[in-house]
Structure 1
Amino acid sequence: MCIRTIKLYSHLTTMTTTCAIILNYFGSEKTERCLRSLVPQAVDTIYLVDNSVSHSEINKLSGMIEELSINDNLQTLHLLVNEDNLGFGKAINKTLKFDLDSSGGHDFYLVLNNDAETTPGMVEGLVRAIRQEPDISLVSPRIVKANDDTCFIWYHKLFGHLYWERKPFCFPYLSGCCLLFKRSLAEEGPLFDEDFFMYGEDVHLGWRLQQQGEKMICREDIEVIHEGTGSSRHGDLFYEYHVAHGHILLAMKTANNRFQLALFLLGRFFYLFTRSIIRALRYRKLSPILAFFLCWFPLKIRLGRVSE
């Protein structure tokens, strides 16, 4: 991991230490908008983590952060460059461990998608919410998109379908778009299950915390703006495979016994097959159908390449 440290300036005037992590994958323009919205927040350390494995992308990020010019108290921005595309969960876990080992850690951590933008006072509001209730481990703002907004999402155990309100046979989770959590959660071990490359790790985190009796909340009065397209394009094999494979992993990891596992996998078969047909017709591509047949196997799919 290559590390570059840059000093910025922000309006930070709090005794509570908060560290933010932004993951970039060929999205420097979105990352810049995200970073500019985050710098004025109550955050004293920012890790900008690049998974692109591209010199041109690193140069864009370096030039972008050099241009940032903010006034007031000291804030530190670390640019961390991974030598391989580690995926979402593994890159976040590695950064958390690096911060705990190198700096002694922070009181709170914020994971923020690079296609999201904070609203004024967002971080301070989330920190206040989690400090007011000591039994809360994880908090999210309301996620505002172009056509809707989201707090809790409900994941159907049998089929893997997502609902935006409580439904039978579902468990709740908070979107990994924007999560704030206590240091203790980072110290317990890897935050995300690294078997998930992209998509599904936040669902599994919600399930795991629920199994452990941990409390999660969504503050509907605090907002984050989420563009929602991220680093992937709908209909591409990369996106379709990792979403579908995430559903298979969730079936395997949330089943309590062999009977449940068989039932969950059967439900996924019918659901994912139907989903692949619908998406193939919608995007006029065969990649969703190909992804359905591939998703049952742990493959390494990067930028159109497939390997075991």
Structure 2
Amino acid sequence: MSARLQALVVEYRSPHRTIACVKALLEQGVPVVQVVDNSADDGVTCALLISAFADDGRVRVLDAGANLGFAAGVNLGLRHRVSERVLLINNDALPNAGVIAALEAALNAEQDVCIAFPSLLHDGQRLGQVYYHRWFAILMSCRWPGTFEVPRGCCMLAALDRIPITPLFDEQFFMYGEEIALGWHLHRRGARISHVDTVWVDHEGSATAKRGSPFYEERTALAHLLLSNVLENKVSERRILAAVRFTMLVLRALVRSLRQRSFFPLFALRRARGIARGVITGALPPS
């Protein structure tokens, strides 16, 4: 493994997961692991993390001082990086043996590849490539007209010196949507990403914000709404794009409401639209 590589983990009030993730990274030989603590809990979580790795100089813990959100937390960590190659990995993900070496080999093999990412093992299901349809606001497992490939934000190795975007993530996305925006910007600029299907990470998924929770519903809806402005090819199509996508989001919320036997997905979409328009300030807490 190259000494030019480091890992970056964003933490939010789940130190046991972060500790397990960092230990797994160290066992695979990662020379530096940067942890950005977004917990905003008066330093309690930060102190636990510092104590857990007090005798290991490879681990660096940075207190963000507030809950900046995932995108801003990553960007903060990248400003303190020691390498141009950074493994971004969620704290609820554990890398399978050989993941990091395989991702690095993918970057070394093709100079025009700027991000390499593995498959995910989530709830017993192997998840590989993912594509986002910019008109219909849905994620797909195969390429269709109107889609573009998205790197899986759960785990990816980025060669920052090859990425034509600074900062890496758009900070208007507090949580969810930032990797879709990144995929779009890379697609527009002809930058390549590579899925390495021979390795994977075990992913707990939605560890901070449980799937179906009020926070999850609101933030995913908000991400899709914000993406309407990001994904336009030209200003003239903005209203059409937004209208089609909002119609699809209403249908999505209706389906989720029926599945959950609750009106909250519809309520969350209404709140998200208010936030996107600036009518509602503040958001529901993660937990």
What is the TM-score normalised by the length of structure 2? 0.90
Contact 1:140/1:151 (<8 A) preserved: no
* Offset, 1:295: 1.6
Task: Name which of structure 1's ranges 150-159 and 189-198 shifts more when overlaid on structure 2.
Answer: 150-159
* Offset, 1:304: 6.9
| Percentage identity across paired residues of the two chains | 28
* Residue of structure 2 equivalent to 1:21: 8
Say whether 1:114 aligns with 2:91: yes
Match of 2:132 among 145, 155, 163: 155
Match of 2:143 among 156, 166, 171: 166
* Offset, 1:229: 2.0
* Offset, 1:154: 1.1
* Residue of structure 1 equivalent to 2:154: 177
Instruction: Kindly provide the CA deviation profile for residues 120-145 of structure 1, in whole angstroms up to 9, marking residues without a partner as x.
Output: 12111211110111111111011121
Q: Secondary structure at the match of 1:134?
A: coil
Q: Secondary structure at the match of 2:58?
A: strand
* Offset, 1:277: 2.3
**Unaligned residue ranges in structure 1 (runs of 5+):** 1-13, 100-104
* Offset, 1:185: 4.4
Contact 2:114/2:163 (<8 A) preserved: no
* Residue of structure 1 equivalent to 2:23: 36
Distance 1:53 1:187, change over 3 A: farther
**Residues of 1 paired with 2:17 and 2:198: CA distance?**
25
Distance 1:96 1:76, change over 3 A: same
* Offset, 1:188: 4.9
Over the residues paired in the alignment, what is the CA RMSD in angstroms?
A: 2.1
Distance 1:15 1:261, change over 3 A: closer
Amino acid at match of 2:118: P
* Offset, 1:197: 0.7
* Residue of structure 1 equivalent to 2:79: 97
Amino acid at match of 2:223: G
* Residue of structure 2 equivalent to 1:195: 172
Distance 1:111 1:304, change over 3 A: closer
Match of 1:204 among 158, 181, 194: 181
**Unaligned residue ranges in structure 2 (runs of 5+):** none
**Could you list the runs of 4 or more consecutive aligned residues of structure 1 that deviate by over 6 angstroms after TM superposition?**
none
* Offset, 1:29: 2.2
* Residue of structure 2 equivalent to 1:220: 197
* Offset, 1:280: 2.6
**Residues of 1 paired with 2:14 and 2:117: CA distance?**
23
* Offset, 1:186: 6.5
Q: Secondary structure at the match of 1:301?
A: coil
Number of matched pairs:
281
Q: Secondary structure at the match of 2:170?
A: coil
